[in-house]
């Protein structure tokens, strides 16, 4: 798995006029907060990246002051600061010694709502594997010519050609830096066409919501609609008996057995644009069978296993308490312990969830009671293939709008 993401945030933003005279384009407010905050938060929710490196240039002091050394979820933020404009390819050259062997790269002025881990799981070889937005109307963006998943060439904006467009998200092999022979240099205009000609560039098309804030009209549109686009339905999974076989107080990776289709079910939820959450009672902590650190370690292992197929959980919630617990500090009645809805309500307060289109999958009646108390539809899983089970409910509700 890739553990590093980099975001290109060094552009001048000249098409936005006075708006970027004192503020770098990715720091412009959209929906009441800097656009770059939204990009970073989206990366952080995958819980897959140890570092998010911001490749900064123009007006970089505000970026450095706000983000350098900060932590979002699992990821620590860092800033690579150019002293002179070097172009998008030059930003990679400048930060070369800080980039890992393979990394995720994003444009800092566009937002694309799709499953990033799916892109990473498909990037098996080659110099660059890019995310493409299918079915974009209009001639503002250049088109990408595909042969299967191989990128063959690029068509400049304004030529009316059909086909997907470059969405500004890439899995990059650091070796491309050695081929950048002059600076300033552009990835889109100089590097990518050469890689396509050599057959070392590939891509996958997705249909999620896409917007680029590079022109005033789209910046205004993002300000109007992006917050609502980030509001999505969710699937809440119980853990033992749903994602993994309930062997009784499972807390070690070596003893966990996945339910058939469990990881694929989570990926189906991700690919559909839903949040994926886990809410699990873990009274084994209160009973003294294991500690909270074991719960965290198991969930980290589960997340890493799911990431290998392009799946992720947005948040793991657990309740260690039980009124009959052996460990005194956990011996209590808790509103977070199902059938009480506390874990679900906590998630609803932290994430922009469309409750009406959300659902919970559990294997016990107390899971469904918690769902009802939180205002979420609940469904009882009694065994079999979880992917097939989830899909029969996932698409009964209106699909999230992209």
In angstroms, the CA 36 to CA 106 distance is 11
pLDDT tens column, 216-265: 999 999 999 999 999 999 999 999 999 999 999 999 999 999 999 999 99
Q: How far apart are the first and last CA of the chain?
A: 27
Write down the pTM of the prediction.
0.92
H-helix or E-strand spanning residue 315: strand 315-319
pLDDT for res 60: 86
pLDDT for res 279: 98
Average pLDDT over all residues of the chain: 94
pLDDT over 60 (residue 304)? yes
In angstroms, the CA 262 to CA 372 distance is 23
H-helix or E-strand spanning residue 35: helix 35-44
pLDDT for res 385: 98
Contacts of 265 (CB under 8 A, 6+ apart): 237, 386, 387, 389, 390, 391
In angstroms, the CA 12 to CA 387 distance is 46
Catalytic residues: 238, 240
**Residue 160 in tokens:** 């009316």
């Amino acid at each position: 798995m890739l553990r590093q993401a980099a975001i290109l945030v060094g552009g001048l933003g000249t098409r936005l006029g006075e708006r970027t005279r004192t503020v770098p384009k990715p720091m412009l407010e959209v929906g009441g907060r800097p656009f770059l905050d939204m990009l970073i938060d989206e990366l952080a929710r995958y819980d897959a990246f140890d570092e998010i490196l911001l490749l900064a240039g123009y007006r970089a002091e505000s970026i450095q002051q706000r983000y350098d050394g900060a932590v979002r979820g699992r990821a620590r933020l860092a800033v690579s600061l150019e002293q002179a404009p070097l172009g998008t390819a030059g930003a990679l050259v400048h930060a070369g010694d800080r980039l890992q062997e393979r990394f995720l790269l994003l444009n800092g002025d566009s937002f694309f709502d799709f499953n990033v881990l799916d892109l990473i799981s498909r990037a098996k070889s080659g110099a660059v594997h890019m995310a493409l937005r299918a079915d974009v109307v209009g001639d503002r963006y250049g088109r990408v010519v595909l042969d299967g998943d191989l990128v063959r060439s690029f068509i400049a904006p304004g030529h009316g050609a059909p086909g997907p467009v470059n969405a500004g998200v890439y899995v990059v092999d650091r070796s491309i830096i050695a081929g950048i022979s002059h600076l300033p240099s552009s990835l889109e205009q100089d590097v990518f066409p050469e890689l396509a000609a050599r057959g070392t560039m590939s891509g996958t098309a997705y249909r999620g919501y896409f917007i680029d804030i590079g022109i005033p009209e789209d910046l205004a549109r993002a300000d109007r609609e992006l917050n609502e686009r980030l509001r999505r339905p969710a699937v809440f999974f119980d853990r033992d008996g749903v994602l993994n076989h309930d062997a009784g107080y499972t807390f070690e990776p070596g003893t966990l057995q996945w339910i058939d289709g469990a990881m694929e079910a989570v990926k189906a939820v991700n690919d559909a644009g839903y949040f994926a959450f886990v809410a699990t009672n873990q009274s084994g902590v209160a009973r003294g069978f294991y500690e909270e650190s074991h719960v965290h370690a198991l969930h980290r292992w589960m997340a890493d296993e799911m990431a290998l197929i392009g799946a992720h959980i947005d948040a793991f919630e657990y309740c260690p308490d039980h009124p009959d617990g052996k460990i005194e500090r956990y011996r209590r009645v808790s509103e977070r312990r199902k059938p009480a809805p506390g874990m679900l309500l906590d998630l609803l307060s932290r994430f922009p969830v469309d409750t009406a289109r959300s659902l919970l999958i559990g294997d016990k009646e107390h899971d469904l009671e918690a769902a009802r108390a939180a205002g979420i539809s609940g469904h009882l899983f009694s065994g079999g293939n979880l992917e097939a089970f989830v899909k029969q409910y996932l698409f009964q509700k209106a699909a999230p709008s992209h």
